[in-house]
Amino acid sequence: MADDAVPASGTVHWVGAGLSTGSGLAKLCDTAARVRLWHRTEERAEGALAALGLTGRAEPRAYTPAALAAELAPGDVVVSMLPAPEHAPLLGACIAARAHFACSSYVSDAVRDLAPAAGAAGVTVLTEAGLDPGIDHLFAHGLIARATAAIGPDTAASYTLTSYCGGVPAVPNDFRYRFSWAPAGVLNALRAPARYIEDGTETTAERPWRATRPHVVDGETFEAYPNRDSVPFVAQYGLPPAWEPRTFVRGTLRLAGWLAAWAPVFAELERDDDRRIAELARELAARHPMAEADRDRVVLAVTLDVDAASGDRWSGRCLLDLTGTAEESAMARCVSRPLALGVTHILDGSLPPGLLRAAETAERSGRWLTELERDGVEFTVRVRN
């Protein structure tokens, strides 16, 4: 543990119990000294604990920012399952109380702005520790480390790295999708431009679905499109400067036929009418919900191909393909398990203060993947020299 880190108290506050809260919470009930589940009301928190088989193993609480702040003590760990815009205020409360913070979301500008104060207070801020972002980072760091060892960091080379993730119905429906998270979030993500590298050139898709391409994963054809801004991850992943990217894209997987099935949705998105899109989100949620009998499927495929100027070639593939069960959705497992793993490392003092992402080194990635596999998050790695 870093000398200036606030020692963990052993108490974990899990804030929010939505669709991504799963067996990771149960793991923390086994490892933390005390767990509190904060939800909209105490009754809803009790119901969520009962549904997860955790009645009596965690304390239900009615969440308000003031109520949580009143119970925070130095060294506590706050796990935010709230929408991303609510992370920064929650982190502010953690800094004031000298409590640690963890979430599965991308680092927002507001969270990044608070990071120096968190580090100065001895507070660990763990982010991007879910599925995507999260396990995708672990896969990428692991592949890059193997490729670097094989090719050499100073060898001139070009590479293609693709990282695609999708939550899809285990049994395809006509819509080729069921909503396992907030429909408004799904629609608004499609409205955000996507920047990536293709044929060695930075490219922007103003409407990401227009860049949809077939993508074969383990013999199965999906449809894939870029999302967000992939370009900063070239630096975040620490790819050797001597290697030039041919293609570098992080994006979303959908079932084959998704582009055609969603054509009416895209027509609505093209209009950029916020009120209509909010209305559409409610309509789609009612038409295509993830019902209790439905099973979801999570597919995460990360590939790296490196061609050295010397003629040497290296290829690696990481694939996670999980189907949900009656006890737990695949999405809940894949988001909550790595998040809980990160929290256990805050509890054991192995993560330093300041801003961290799920994996920032090959060594940590390898260790976390081993631990996740032991915890039941199965995946395959294939390497070809």
Q: Which residues are catalytic?
A: 132
Q: If phi over 0 gives left and psi between -120 and 50 gives alpha, with beta otherwise, what is residue 354?
A: left
Contact in structure between 86 and 111 (CB atoms under 8 Å): no
Q: Which residues are 244's β-sheet partners?
A: 158
Compute CA distances 280 → 4, 193, 265, 267, 286, whole Å.
49, 20, 8, 12, 10
Instruction: Give the CB-side neighbour count of residue 311, counting CA atoms within 13 A.
Output: 0
Is the bond preceding 65 in cis, omega lying within 30 degrees of 0?
Answer: no
The neighbour count for residue 54, using CB atoms within 10 Å, is 18
The neighbour count for residue 363, using CB atoms within 10 Å, is 11
At 338, the amino acid letter reads P
Phi, psi at 255, each rounded to 5°: -65, 150
**Nearest residue to 354 via CA among 127, 115, 134:** 115
Q: How far apart are CA 53 and CA 15, in angstroms?
A: 18
**Angle between the 135-151 and 330-347 helix axes, to the nearest 10 degrees?**
70
Q: How many helices (H) and strands (E) does the chain have?
A: 13, 16
**Angle between the 274-287 and 263-270 helix axes, to the nearest 10 degrees?**
160
In three-state secondary structure terms, 187 is helix
**Angle between the 362-374 and 330-347 helix axes, to the nearest 10 degrees?**
120
Phi, psi at 45, each rounded to 5°: -65, -40
Contact in structure between 80 and 101 (CB atoms under 8 Å): yes
Write out the H or E segment, with its range, that includes residue 158. strand 157-169
Q: How far apart are CA 94 and CA 292, in angstroms?
A: 36
Q: How far apart are CA 269 and CA 243, in angstroms?
A: 38
